[in-house]
A and B are shown apart, each in its own frame.
Chain A
Amino acid sequence: MSKVASMFHPKRLDLSGFVNTRLIRDHNKRNAFAQMEPERQALRYIIRNTSLPQRTRAQAQLQLSQMHCYTRPTQIKNRCVASGTARSVFRNFRLNRFQFRMQALAGELPGVKKASW
């Protein structure tokens, strides 16, 4: 397997809304992980199964570590859908704290209300 990240790029961008390079890169990583996850899990099973011969398990370890880094789940970072920011992103809203505040104050998030007591 070649180690080129461009093999995970789609021919046409299938995203709408805010887009920047880092967001597209993260999207490609997510797609790559989704595509290769069964293979990764199979290798992980072989590695963890102590009843298999040591040689097989070592080979599986090597194969897993040599997979492209884009297929690794740890490469995935939650980014803000509205601004592409990677920091302080609310998982429930997929928004950065600032975007969350702006949209909430504009009444665009149903059920979200400014606290006051």
Chain B
Amino acid sequence: MSQSRILDLVKTQCRIFSLNFNPQRLRLGNKILRQRLRGPTLAAWYPKKTVSFRDLQNTYKPLGLTTFDEAEDDREEAIQIAKLRGKGRPKKKRTAAESRSAKKKK
């Protein structure tokens, strides 16, 4: 087979399989275009957020349904007890003047 026949064959092959016909073997960077995108698989490494109890609460509250969260209940109770003992959180300072006076006391 002659050289030109082989070239024609390769050209047809490239056309059929939608490959890049490059007999001079130039560096055209087509291997970059052939690569698959790795982003989606890399971004899926850590487990995504699923439905939490808080989400259920938020969806059912407007419908008038009450939910009971034991951990949240315990937390609020502990806060109430701390307040009674005078160990609650200090009141939030809203203005600059308030925060300044609070510092002076010390």
Contact = CB atoms under 8 A, between A and B. Distances in A.
Determine chain B's interface SS by DSSP, over half rule.
Answer: loop
Interface in B1-27: 26-27
Chain B, interface residues (CB within 8 Å), range: 20 to 34
A76 interface: yes
Contact of B46 (A17, A33, A34, A37): A17
Interface string B39-73: 11011011111101000000000000000000000
B46 A81 contact: yes
B29 A34 contact: no
Interface residues of A, number: 30
Interface string A52-83: 00000000000000000000010010110100
B29 to A, nearest CB: 3
A48 B27 CA distance: 7
Contact of B26 (A14, A15, A23, A51): A51
A45 interface: yes
B45 A78 contact: yes
Contact of B39 (A33, A49, A51): A33
Given A34-B40, A37-B37, A16 B47 contact: yes
B102 interface: no
B45 A30 contact: yes
Contacts of B96: none
B32 interface: yes
Contacts of A13: 49
Given A51-B26, A78-B45, A79-B45, 5 more contacts: A33-B43, A34-B40, A41-B33, A48-B32, A49-B29
A44 B43 contact: no
A46 interface: yes
